Amino acid sequence: MIDLSILDLKIFINLTEEDKNILVNSSKIIQENDTLLSGKIRILEYNHNIYIQEKTDKMDYIVRKVNNIDSAKKIVQDRLDTYDRMWDGCGCRIDYSKDTNI
């Protein structure tokens, strides 16, 4: 089981499904979108910080800390736009480990 205080120490972490559920249930959900390809992507507020939680193409749950809600919304919209292009068969991929903190 995750110690949620680790979120204050790291920018990017992998989560088990159980830990993801604990995080989501312990957070305020600011925004939630179904990607239709890789589960839901969420903007969360926890302990006065903003996080993006998503599921990778390898079915790993990840969470990353971002600077603010505006940055999070831009990142999520970029993700959703990429998923739209993927749905249309662009052959593009998402680099989930890329630093998207803007």
Residue 90 reports pLDDT greater than 60? yes
CB 87 within 8 A of CB 36: yes
Q: What is the pLDDT of residue 9?
A: 57
Picking from 20, 13, 98, 29, the residue whose alpha carbon sits closest to that of residue 64 is: 13
- Residue 31 is predicted with a pLDDT of 98
Q: How far apart are CA 9 and CA 53, in angstroms?
A: 16
- Return the minimum-mean-pLDDT range out of 7-11, 46-50, 75-79: 7-11
1-32 tens-digit pLDDT:
566 666 665 677 888 899 899 999 999 999 99
Confidence of residue 44 (pLDDT cuts 50, 70, 90): very high
pLDDT at 102 over 70: no
Domain boundaries, the chain: 4-87
Share the mean pLDDT of the chain: 86
Q: Listing from the earlier edge strand, what are the strands of the sheet with 49-55? A: 12-15, 61-66, 49-55, 40-46, 28-34
